[in-house]
Amino acid sequence: MIRVLIADDHDLFRDGLKSIFKNEKNIQVVGDVPNGALAIKEVKKTKVDVVLMDISMPEIDGIDATERILSKHPNIKIIMLTMHNDVKTIRRVIEAGAHGYLLKHSSKAKLVEGINEVCSGQTYFSNEVTEQLIKSMRAMDTDQEVVLTKREEDILLLICEERTTTQIAKILHISPNTVESHRKSLLNKTGCKNSVGLAKFAIENGLIQSGQLPPTSIISLSHVWKLP
């Protein structure tokens, strides 16, 4: 029997999934929770084989919850079940270690197949997700798309807030040397020369809105003045 935990912030969706699996002989829903924080707590007290995890949830999102669960319970399999089908999110999910990725409009047959596949040691990604990854790979060959890790994104946003290396290190609980290493990686990946360039990159790529920057900051003003 495969024991499944459902993590989704929509009550009706969780109820629908429980109804779908009710008559499956080899699948048992052992719990359902509305956010990632409760999913982390639930796997500590309940024996779970597979977590069906939404991404956009309050308190702790599905990607962060996936990383935390797998760091403590590496034998648990996690399948993302979400509406998100953009390459950036898919890559973050893969980096987090998820074993599968399905969209919420997937059929019952696909859900059951995915659960059985990951429990047999395989990965399972829907056709739509696979197609997105292939398109992205082709685009990288021609456009050299810049792909940042989640940690690099976190540091980039803090740089845009004009945080110092010491402040960033304290906020993210890492060493100043690690911060500087990520800063150099950001400059190399984006081709920027300084923090002003990084701020422009963040705005142009939708990682931050110009209105989120400190109103009197040199970074904010440089965006308005379109400085190089």
Query: If we measure between CA atoms, which residue out of 135, 153, 143 comes closest to residue 205?
Result: 153
Task: Please tell me the total count of domains within the chain.
Answer: 2
129 and 183 co-located in one domain = no
End-to-end CA distance of the chain: 60
List CB contacts of 150: < 8 A, sequence separation 6 or more: 63, 92, 95
**83 and 172 inside one domain:** no
| Residue finishing a domain among 103, 119, 139 | 139
Spatial distance between the Cα atoms of 137 and 33, rounded to a whole number of angstroms: 35
Q: Within this chain, do residues 161 and 98 fall inside the same structural domain, yes or no?
A: no
Q: What is the pTM of this model?
A: 0.62
d(C-alpha 79, C-alpha 62), whole Å: 10
**The domain that contains 167 carries what CATH number?**
1.10.10.10
pLDDT tens for 7-43 read 999 999 999 999 999 888 899 999 999 999 999 999 9
The CB density around residue 25, as the number of other CB atoms within 10 Å, is 6
Amino acid at 63: I
CB-count exposure of residue 39 (10 Å: 0-12, 13-18, 19+)? buried
Per-residue pLDDT tens digits of the chain, which is 228 residues long:
999 999 999 999 999 999 999 888 899 999 999 999 999 999 999 999 999 999 999 999 999 999 999 999 999 999 999 998 888 888 889 889 999 999 999 999 999 999 999 999 999 998 888 887 777 766 555 455 677 888 888 898 888 888 889 999 999 999 989 999 888 889 888 888 888 888 888 877 777 654 445 444 444 434 433 433
Q: Which of 139, 165, 180 is the last residue of a domain?
A: 139
190 and 81 fall within a common domain:
no
Same domain, 35 and 132: yes
Q: Is residue 134 part of a domain?
A: yes
Domain that holds residue 167: 150-225
Contact predicate 66/98, CB 8 Å? yes
- For 171, the 3-state DSSP assignment is helix
Shared domain check, 157 and 68: no
Instruction: Assess whether 178 and 110 both reside in one domain.
Output: no
In this structure, the answer to whether residues 18 and 101 fall within a common structural domain is: yes
77 falls within a domain: yes
Which one of 116, 139, 162 terminates a domain? Answer: 139
Task: Name the residue with tokens 């920027």.
Answer: 192
- φ, ψ for residue 128 (rounded to 5)? -65, -40
In a domain? residue 191 = yes
Q: Are residues 18 and 122 in the same domain?
A: yes
> Alpha-carbon distance 126 to 33, whole Å?
24
**Same domain (yes/no): 6, 115:** yes
**Domain CATH for 79:** 3.40.50.2300
CA distance 205 to 173: 26
Assigned domain for 49 exists: yes
